[in-house]
Structure 1
Amino acid sequence: MSNPPTEFYSEERWQNWIDRINDEDIDPEDESSARLLLNLQDDTAIAIAKIVAAYDDGELDQEEALEEITDVREIVLDDVDVDDEEKRLLVDGVQTSLVCVFFAAEEYVANGPAEEGSVNDYIGAAADAEAEEDLDAALGYAAQAGTLIVDGEELDMTMAEELEYGLVTEWINGLDSLQSAMSDPEVVEEDE
């Protein structure tokens, strides 16, 4: 009898992070608060990186990998139970950053890495599309950049600094977490 597949992410895991955010005084200017939010984001990106790696290694077939990504996305992008409006906005920012991570992973599993262009080309195209208020196209380009990151290409974060703040810069933030997760998929420890 084969072993049951590993659980890549759970509702309980996500809820533990949300509980910590609820319990702590969060100040985005404070390093430990910023780290908590980044860890929340990185933890999810690591789960996605592990799913993609399991797919690449043949441990999951395409359909299973896509189902796993969908499961994580449904947990993470669901409405959160956070009473404090400022904290809710911060969690919402993390969720926004992760949207592109999910799309990139799905695109990678479904169609492989983008065949033409570089990460920077796609990020530039995403920024142009956002400027024209074509957010679907912007997300599509950002996801293509993500497929290349999954495939081992580097994301140059200095490019993000040149962009006007908006959804694309949020998505780049998520892709940066994905890049870290792909190179070092170690679990972020939830400090008790």
Structure 2
Amino acid sequence: MTEDEAVETFYSEERWQNWLDRLADEDLDPENEDSARLLLNLQDDAAIAIAKVLAALEDDRIDEDRAVEEIRDVSDIVLAEVSFDDEDKVMLIDGVQTSLVPVFYAAEEFVVGGVVEGDVDEFVHAAADAEADEDLDAALGYVVQAGTRVIDGERLDMELVEELEYGLVSEWVNGLDSLQSAIEDPEVVEED
């Protein structure tokens, strides 16, 4: 096997663009179940890519440097500015991107620093408190720490999420829920 054959592709700009093209063709309404599912599938698909990177690292198919590089590549693709004529669609995709931010940071932190000591629920509560105090950097930091715990297998209780006031922390924790699902069942979400 040549070195090129051994290179595993975890995510691509083409894959992301296929999702965006599909969203461009859809009449999106977040209140509509099909629209909500499509946006969740978009989010889950990116989280699955991260779960696959982490699995490849765990299986020694890639090293830590490559894992960090792959996580950053997925992040760069997914978090790039999206341009649609429809401002509502831009806002909906921005929500997906926002939810995925701590997924990327948590995965990178997990690879580089390992699992953070603590409890997922406590980190989420601390993040909510920090958001209430308008310390968004600290809030994100707590959610990222919770994310390393999720990657390590600690369960994120979604009832906890329902208690959160709507805001950045609730969106970020929603991203961790996608990551948790992806780690538990990293099946590919079909684009079609």
Q: TM-score, structure 1 length as denominator?
A: 0.97
| Partner of residue 84, structure 1 | 86
Matches within 5 A, 1:1-192: 1-2=2-3, 3-115=5-117, 117-191=118-192
SS in 2 for 1:108: helix
Distance 2:152 2:61 in 1: 18
Where does structure 1 lack aligned partners over 5 or more consecutive residues? none
Alpha-carbon distance, 1:160 to partner: 1.0
Cα RMSD (Å): 0.8
* Equivalent-residue separation in structure 1 for 2:70 and 2:96 (angstroms): 20
Tell me the alpha carbon deviations over residues 74-129 of structure 1, each in whole angstroms, 9 at most, x when there is no partner: 000000121100011000000000001001101100111112x2110111111111
Tell me how far apart the structure 1 counterparts of residues 133 and 56 of structure 2 sit (CA, whole Å).
37
Instruction: Quote the Cα distance in structure 2 between the aligned partners of 1:60 and 1:128.
Output: 38
Tell me which amino acid in the other structure corresponds to 2:156. L
Letter in 2 for 1:174: G
In structure 1, C-alpha distance between the alignment counterparts of 2:59 and 2:170, rounded to whole Å: 31
> What letter is aligned with 1:86?
D
Which sits farther off after the overlay, 54-63 or 181-190?
54-63
The AA in structure 2 aligned to 1:121 is E
Q: Give 1:4 deviation, angstroms.
A: 3.0
Q: Is the 8 A contact 1:18 1:82 kept in 2?
A: no
Instruction: Using the aligned pairs only, state the percent identity.
Output: 67
Which structure 2 residue ranges, 5 or more long, are not aligned? none
Length, aligned pairs only: 190
